[in-house]
Structure 1
Amino acid sequence: MDHTEQVRVNIFNDAGNTLLGKNASEMFHLKNSSEDEYKDYVRKSTYKTFLFRIRAKSESYNGETRVRYNVMSISPIDYVKDAEYLLSKINSLL
Structure 2
Amino acid sequence: MSFVDVFIAMLLLIMGLALLVLGIFAAYFGSGKVRAFGAGLLVAGLVIWVITYVIRGPLGVDLGEVIYQGVLYIVSALVGAIIALLIFLAVLLKT
Do both proteins adopt the same fold according to a TM-score greater than 0.5, normalized to the shorter chain? no
Bigger fraction of residues in helix: 2
Bigger fraction of residues in strand: 1
Query: Which bin holds the TM-score, normalised by the shorter protein?
Result: under 0.3
TM normalised by structure 2 equals: 0.27
TM normalised by structure 1 equals: 0.27
